[in-house]
Amino acid sequence: MLTSTDSTHEDARLAPGLYVVATPIGNTGDLSPRAADVLCRADVVLAEDTRRAGLFFARQGLTRAGGRKGFLSLHDHNEEGRIPQVLELIAGGESVALISDAGTPVLSNPGYRLVRACRRGGMFVTSLPGPFAPAVALSACGLPPAPMTFLGFLPRQKGQARKLLARHAATGASLIFFERKDRLAGTLDLAAEVLGDREFAVCRELTKQYEEFILGRLGDPAAVPGDVLGEVTVVVGPEPLSGAPAGFDADGTDVANDPAAALDVLLAEERAHGGKPREVARRVAARLHGALSAKDVYERMTQHD
């Protein structure tokens, strides 16, 4: 664990500006040394919940450098009113670190309006990258990683959630969103209605002791048990770009009993998504669920190019 006294730059002040700092989503070992150093040395730390921030600092063994101020709250309900104060602090030569309750600020948490205001004011803004639940889920669930669209939390109202999913139904992208455990079953049913029978992954408790990936298809409501616990990230794979029924090529040719032809269909779909050949091969291999390795798929591609 890094404390302020571990830094070789203990007495050096950070440049005035806003530092967007990613913090762990579960495993405390995921806080980077650079992030820890900035959190120790920043003049002010903005946090969604100052009490939770204090507990986080204690758990990580972080101590504020001598003379540094404490925490200021910044959340959905006070961000607009907090902006003038933060701008004044930075203009006065102070460094301000922004954290969320967990993960990367701004992307699914407060902070966007503050960053925008700082940019418009010509102030220094930088991001210290780190944990982000959608990236963790997408990199380990086995669904096509690119293109992808992050939707944040779906709207609570069913009609608005339906409209949002419908808007992204035909983009050819994997869709990623957060959902509460008590709403998960209903949301998956809604996704099946709007998006059709696509592959999905329910990724829970990411980076924590009981991390779990539940894979299935939206058309199979029994794929997800009713007692899913913990924080949940959902990934829904893209629709087939051909628009043809499963087992058929775009022109209606039956490929169900022709593995080579079926592979060519998948290659055409994934190539349309874009990406380097090896990336395409990895996405196709993921859709084949281990029937072929990414290396085998890549060799097939190069033989026909």
Return the pLDDT at 249.
Answer: 42
The answer on pLDDT for 1 being more than 60 is: no
Residue extent(s) of CATH 3.40.1010.10 domains in the chain = 4-128
Average pLDDT, whole number, for the chain? Answer: 85
CATH number assigned to the domain with residue range 133-236, chosen from the 4 options 3.40.640.10, 3.30.360.10, 3.40.50.300, 3.30.950.10: 3.30.950.10
Distance between CA atoms of residues 31 and 185, nearest Å: 33
Q: How much is the pLDDT for 271? A: 80
**Which one is predicted more confidently, 127 or 230?**
127
The pLDDT score that the predictor gives to residue 305 is: 60
pTM: 0.73
SS3 state at 92: coil
* Superfamily of structural domain 4-128: Tetrapyrrole methylase, N-terminal domain (3.40.1010.10)
- The larger pLDDT score, comparing residue 82 to residue 281, is at 82
Q: What is the pLDDT of residue 259?
A: 64
Distances (CA, A) of 35 to 4, 67, 126, 127, 206: 12, 19, 12, 10, 20
Residue 304 pLDDT more than 50?
Answer: yes
Angle subtended at Cα 118 by Cα 112 and Cα 119, rounded to the nearest 5 degrees = 90
